[in-house]
Structure 1
C-alpha cells in the first residue's frame, strides 16, 4: 500500500452491508475471482471492486492475480479487533443486567 492509500479502520470497512456480505461470501471459500463475487449483487463490477478495495485497505481481504482475473480471499485476522470490542461490551451488559436483576430481587423481598 502506498502512502497515498492510508489503511482504513476495520469498523469503517464493515459498516456497509455490501461489504459485510462480501466478507460472508469470502469466508466460505479459499479465493474467489471477481466475476463470481459480482453475481451476488445488483451492482456492476466497478462498484463491487470499490467495496473490495475498502476491505483490502482495511487488510480484510487479500488479492492476487490469476491470469487476467483478480482473486480475493478473506483475511479474518483484523476481525479480532471487532470481536474483542463486542466481547468487552457483551461482558459489560451482562454485568449490568446481573446487577439490575439483583436490585429487582432485593426490592421484591
Structure 2
C-alpha cells in the first residue's frame, strides 16, 4: 500500500503495527473490540521429542528477534512476535474460545 494510491483506513490488530504507526486501529477509529487479524505459527507432529521442540523454539525465536527479519516484517505490516511454545498454546486456546463463541452465537454450520 505504501507504493500505491491505496490508503489503509484502519488496522484490525489490537495495536498499531511497526512501520504503520500512521494507521489507526479499528478501536481508535470508533469500533472498540474489533480484532481480526492474520497470524502464523509453527506446529510439530505429536510425539516430537522435547529436545527437538526446544531447539526449534530457540532457533525460531532468535530468527524472529533479528533486526533484518523485524524490519522485513514491519515493511510488510507484520508484527513479529516470537512467543514461547506455552504463550502460543495459550494464544491458540484464547482464539479457539473466541471463535467458538461467535460460531455458536450466530449459528454457523459446516456444509
Give TM-score, length-normalised by structure 2: 0.34
Bigger CA radius of gyration:
1
* Structure richer in helix, relative to its length: 1
Give TM-score, length-normalised by structure 1: 0.34
* Structure richer in strand, relative to its length: 1
